[in-house]
Every structure is written in C-alpha cells, then in structure tokens.
C-alpha cells in the first residue's frame, strides 16, 4: 500500500519538509517533520505498532551511513535490523544533506537564472569542493570511528583543514578533547587509518570527489560560497536559500528536475512496504542495526 504519512528530518516548514511537499505535489501523503534522524527509525516502528492503518514511513539524510551504496540517480530504500529481522523504514536521500540539493546547478538554473551566471557559479562551487577534499575524508574517518553518534563530533571549525597533515591533527584534537571530557576511549589510530583509506576516494579522480554534490557536505559548501554570493546579486546565504525555495514552490513538476526526485516520488506513491515490519525484497540493501 502507498505511504500515508512520511516522517522527515528537520524543523516544521524547514527545507526538508518543503522539498518533499514539492516532490509529492498532488498526492495525499502527509509530510511531518521530526527533528533529528536519531531515533527516527524506532519512532516509525513504534507508530506502526499503534497506528497500523496510517501506513507510516520515513526519509532521512544519507550522511556517512551508507558509503557502500554507490548506485546513483535513484531513491534508496532504508532498512534497519530489529530483533534479528530486517525492517523497511522508508528511504534515505541519495545526497548527504538537504543542502546538497539546494546548491545543485540544475536547481540554481531553474530558480536563479536571472541572478546567477551559471558558469561562474559552477566554477566557484567546484573550487570549494576541491578545498574540502581533506576535510571530507576526516569527517568520514571520525564518523566511522565514533561509538555514540549523538554526541561525538565529526567536524570542527577551530583547527585548519586545508592540508592532509592539518586534518590528521584535527582528528587527533577531536578525539583528545572528547576522551578528556567524557573519559570514553576512542581508537585514534583507527580514525587515522580510516582517513588514509578514504582520502583517495575524496581526492580528484576519486568516486566521492567526482560526485561531490552527493558525498561532500552541502552545508559546508553552501556556507563557504556565502562570501561570493554578492557577485551573484544576492546579499546573504539566508536570502539565497529562501529565494530558491520560494521559486521552487512557484514552479510546476519540480520532481522532474532530478532523476532521484522523480524516482523517489514514484516509489513513495507506489510503495509496497510491509507495514507489519517483515520484508524480503530489500534484504540485500544497506541496513542499520538498532
């Protein structure tokens, strides 16, 4: 049966909810913002237990939790393991964060073509991605090392991150501060090894770098080009995001702009999720244990 209620991350009337409303325009799906991704899967399963008729699913950010899934241009099923069974929760966005969509040149071309020189914008965006190579590898390393994801940081603003050595030192400082403050043990060498392992993927020619709009932080990229928005005729990053969303909402069939959005719409409206928790078709898809 098709989804009736779709839970998402973010605040009420935030970009996640608004973009989903555009992707699912004309449908009867109720989109409800739930804040953080942490506990979102458990909330879905709990609600299904008490509201079976509601057909509840959810969608979450990709973040760095599904690095092994390299299928592109489509919606991605999200499942978790619960009591030794694989349970289909819903979907995860193909891109790391919702901001990764707002900065996409296709979205910019459809919303700000009267304010932004697209060639200049693409060049500036690509340069900022190039500047984030080492930092992205460091973020992945910290994410894969952390044991309590809710409170272990995988980013920093206090240390430099323009070179590999600066990022190695940033990793050491993050772990040192965390261990000192909480008396928890974090394997520093494991984090440094993960950094070396993922650095080639994040560097020029690597899969993550080639697809930086998917795997690099959209929040970071968007923030780092803020100072350049004035040359695009925009005063601030806040105005940038607000204007994009406003113009998207004034457009028709927004889901056709990106292949993933069109596929996500189709999957949600034609969903065959087993709301009694048991699934079989997705056992070979990435899952998260809860």
Check pLDDT > 70 for residue 173.
Answer: yes
Q: What's the mean pLDDT in 15-22? A: 97
78, 196: one domain: no
Residue 288 is predicted with a pLDDT of 43
167, 240: one domain: yes
Distances (CA, A) of 228 to 101, 123, 131, 187, 237: 19, 12, 15, 39, 10
77-81, 212-216, 226-230: which is most confident: 212-216
In this predicted structure, which of 170-184, 230-244, 256-270 has the lowest mean pLDDT? 230-244
Domain extent, residue 283, equals: 5-98+253-289
Check pLDDT > 50 for residue 281.
Answer: no
**Residue 77 contacts by C-beta under 8 Å, 6 or more apart in sequence?**
88, 90, 91, 267, 282, 285
From the list 164, 172, 147, 165, the residue with the least C-alpha distance to 156 is 172
157, 266: one domain: no
The number of distinct structural domains making up the chain is 2
Write out the two tokens for 4.
Answer: 């009736």
115, 232: one domain: yes
Residue 225 is predicted with a pLDDT of 76
Cβ–Cβ < 8 Å for 94, 72 = yes
**Residue 138 contacts by C-beta under 8 Å, 6 or more apart in sequence?**
161, 167, 168, 170, 171, 195
218, 179: one domain: yes
40, 140: one domain: no
23, 107: one domain: no
55-64, 99-108, 141-150: which is most confident: 99-108
């Amino acid at each position: 049966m098709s989804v009736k209620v779709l839970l998402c991350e973010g605040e009420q009337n935030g970009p996640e909810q608004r973009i989903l409303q555009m992707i699912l325009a004309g449908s009867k799906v109720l989109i409800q913002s739930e804040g953080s991704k942490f506990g979102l899967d458990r909330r879905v399963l709990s609600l299904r237990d008490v509201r079976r008729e509601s057909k509840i699913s959810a969608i979450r950010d990709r973040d760095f939790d599904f690095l092994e899934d390299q299928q592109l241009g489509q919606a991605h099923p999200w499942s978790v393991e619960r009591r030794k069974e694989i349970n289909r929760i819903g979907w995860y966005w193909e891109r790391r964060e919702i901001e990764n969509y707002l900065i996409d040149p296709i979205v910019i071309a459809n919303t700000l073509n009267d304010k932004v020189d697209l060639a200049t914008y693409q060049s500036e965006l690509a340069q900022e991605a190039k500047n984030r190579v080492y930092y992205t590898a460091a973020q992945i390393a910290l994410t894969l090392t952390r044991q309590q994801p809710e409170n272990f940081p995988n980013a920093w603003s206090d240390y430099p991150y323009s070179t590999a050595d600066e990022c190695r030192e940033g990793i050491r400082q993050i772990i040192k501060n965390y261990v000192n403050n909480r008396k928890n043990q974090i394997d520093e060498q494991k984090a440094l090894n993960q950094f070396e392992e993922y650095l080639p993927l994040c560097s020029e020619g690597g899969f993550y770098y080639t697809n930086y709009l998917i795997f690099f932080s959209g929040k970071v990229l968007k923030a780092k080009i803020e100072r350049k928005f004035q040359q695009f005729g925009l005063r601030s990053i806040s105005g940038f995001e607000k204007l994009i969303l406003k113009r998207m909402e004034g457009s028709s069939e927004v889901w056709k702009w990106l292949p993933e959005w069109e596929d996500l719409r189709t999957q949600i409206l034609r969903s065959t999720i087993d709301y009694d928790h048991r699934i079989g078709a997705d056992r070979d898809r990435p899952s998260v244990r809860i």
